[in-house]
A and B are shown apart, each in its own frame.
Chain A
Amino acid sequence: MHRLPWWMGAILMSGLLLMTFSVFGADRPIGASTYVPYFAGILFDLDPEKYTYLKEIKNSGAWEGVMLFGVLFGGFITSVFLTKTFRFSLIPTGWKKYKNNSVLSRLLWSFFSGFVMIIGARLAGGCTSGHFMSGMSQMAISAMIFGTVVMVVLVITGKLFYHTKED
């Protein structure tokens, strides 16, 4: 079998979250969007002492930055040796089927949605990892508000943006 069933993924992910939360682990939740402005600060050579936001994310940005290196490494190794899905591609099969065949269109939309996604995540103070997984696991009301809004908007956008009736 070259992939894990969803319930096995959930059990493993739950174990990883608990280990990360544990005082014997990292004593903090998993988050995966603070590293983006952190790296933006480094790449665009912004002085971390001059910008309020860089000061706020100094620690969590660094933590997630190191974790990101792990994610890239883990994702690469798994895709080469376990799922055997490593390949260079410019356009997903599902995009071709439900949107269009244009690489340019996919790249422009990717760029645009990547930009908007990080603004959104940072406005809300978290993403799927920080709010949905880590936040909801702590039964935080903030995570439930974010999760509900995201789910509703996600499905509405899916209906409007893709040609789903052309099956």
Chain B
Amino acid sequence: MDIIVKTAGEDLPSRIAQMFESVIHQGHGSLVLVFLIGVIFGGIIQYTRVDKFEKIAGFAMLKDTIVPKMLFLTVGLTSIGLYFMVEAGGAHYHIKPIIWQGLILGGILFGISMAILGKCPGTGPVSIAEGRIDVLVGAIGGLLGGLVFTLFYDDIFKPLMGESSGSLTLPEFFPGNEHMVVLIFGIMVALVAIVIPKVEMFDEADLCKLPEGERPDRD
């Protein structure tokens, strides 16, 4: 028996089916792979606990440094690995444009809300999956934000973002020395991650469920 999936409609199930269909045809990995990337992404974030309010808002209060340490080390390692993968033809760069107004305005709004919500769009879903109702309310706010952005994109937001000044990367400023720049950048960023002093804010509500010997605050 053939399974027929109707993907032409405009109702909710058809729109979701169209989403899967789009991923199948856009050539950026199979449906299973993209789903799996999400599973691993969510698993790493959950297992390192960086989705917690105490980690992200804690960093905003400078009482927890796990998030910047992990972010910087990730960037340091990936930048070197990716550069040589691109050189070998195993990957491509996908550089986002420099839109000064959009980046600065967006960065300000993003920084304020990240400190207050204690999540970002990648870590938020992980917290929701963990049962955090307040983050679910934040996601509803986010969906409305996405709606407003879409509705007023042409009239307000697109002009607000300003013109693109091109897609530049750091090595492009040092022609002839690209390899050196990449190595220095990668090592420097990784060093920053290691040098940042490790400070942690713990959540007793999670810790009290662990056996005494496994509590990270008693190391």
A residues whose Cβ falls under 8 Å from a Cβ of B: 1-14, 16-30, 32-33, 35-47, 51-54, 58-59, 61-63, 65-79, 82-95, 98, 106-107, 109-146, 148-159, 161-162, 164
Residues of B within 8 A of A148 (CB): 107
What CA separation (Å) do A117 and B125 show in the bound complex?
A: 14
Contact in complex: B121, A66 (CB < 8 Å): no
Q: Chain B's interface: helix, strand, loop or mixed, by majority?
A: helix
Contact in complex: A63, B34 (CB < 8 Å): yes
Contact in complex: B44, A157 (CB < 8 Å): no
Residue of B nearest to A119 (CB): B145
Contact in complex: B97, A75 (CB < 8 Å): no
Contact in complex: B120, A127 (CB < 8 Å): yes
Contact in complex: B43, A94 (CB < 8 Å): no
A-B contact count (CB 8 A): 532
What CA separation (Å) do A86 and B209 show in the bound complex?
A: 11
Contact in complex: B69, A6 (CB < 8 Å): yes
Knowing A70-B39, A115-B142, the reply to whether A124 touches B54 (Cβ < 8 A) is: no
Residues of A within 8 A of B157 (CB): 119, 122-123
Count chain B CB atoms within 10 A of each CB in A84, A110, A158 and give the residue with the most: A110
B187 at the interface (CB under 8 A from A): no
Contact in complex: A10, B113 (CB < 8 Å): no
B residues whose Cβ falls under 8 Å from a Cβ of A: 10, 12, 15-16, 18-20, 22-23, 26-29, 31, 33-54, 57-63, 66, 68-71, 73-75, 77-79, 81-83, 85, 89-100, 102-118, 120-135, 137-151, 153-154, 157-158, 160-161, 167-171, 181-182, 185, 189, 193, 198, 201, 203-206, 209-210, 214, 216
Contact in complex: A69, B38 (CB < 8 Å): yes
What CA separation (Å) do A138 and B170 show in the bound complex?
A: 9
Contact in complex: B91, A22 (CB < 8 Å): yes
Contact in complex: A158, B60 (CB < 8 Å): yes
18 examples of A-B residue contacts, CB within 8 angstroms? A9-B70, A25-B29, A38-B19, A42-B15, A53-B149, A65-B19, A66-B35, A71-B126, A72-B128, A110-B134, A125-B102, A127-B122, A136-B79, A137-B75, A138-B93, A140-B169, A153-B111, A154-B60
Contact in complex: A122, B74 (CB < 8 Å): no
